[in-house]
């Protein structure tokens, strides 16, 4: 009987270990899926001259995540000022593994502009010369 008790104890320890490992895997994979599900990449950013010392900024984004990203989830900052309402990306929402483009509604003066585009999972900072 003493030999059987040690075998049962070993089997119970093995089952507990496998259960804990499975729980840890599910927890970690859920965290990773949530953080990369709405990720963007800036494919191109440029300025289009519309008049003397007046330019419009065009941004082309790519949704490299696994879920749709709507305009309301994107934050666009130009030189530190929130310009999100100025940019309505088409299509909206941006489907996974596809691109969207928008040209600003406002004019920007000539010079170097720092543009930050933020999604729920990441942000991309670029510099454009207008």
**Residue pLDDT, tens place only, 2-39:** 667 888 888 999 999 999 998 888 887 766 655 568 89
Q: Are residues 86 and 46 in the same domain?
A: yes
* 76/91: higher pLDDT: 76
For residues 81 and 69, the answer to whether their CB atoms sit within 8 Å is no
Q: Are residues 60 and 122 in the same domain?
A: yes
Domain count for the chain, please give it: 2
- Three-point CA angle 79, 81, 85, nearest 5°: 120
pTM of the model: 0.70
Residue 92: give the domain boundaries. Answer: 40-129
- Judge if the upstream peptide bond of residue 91 is cis by omega within 30 degrees of 0: yes
Q: Are residues 121 and 70 in the same domain?
A: yes
Q: Are residues 57 and 112 in the same domain?
A: yes
Q: Give the strand order in the sheet containing 54-63.
A: 40-51, 54-63, 98-103
């Amino acid at each position: 009987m003493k030999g059987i008790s040690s075998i049962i104890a070993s089997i119970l320890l093995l089952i507990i270990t496998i259960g804990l490992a499975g729980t840890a895997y599910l927890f970690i994979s859920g965290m990773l899926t949530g953080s990369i599900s709405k990720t963007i990449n800036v494919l191109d950013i440029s300025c289009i001259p519309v008049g003397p010392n007046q330019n419009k900024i065009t941004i082309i984004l790519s949704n490299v995540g696994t879920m749709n990203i709507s305009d309301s989830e994107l934050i666009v900052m130009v030189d530190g000022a929130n310009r999100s309402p100025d940019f309505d990306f088409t299509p909206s929402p941006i489907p996974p593994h596809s691109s969207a483009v928008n040209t600003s509604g406002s004019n920007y003066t000539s010079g170097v502009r720092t543009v930050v585009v933020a999604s729920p999972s990441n942000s991309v900072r670029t510099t454009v010369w207008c």
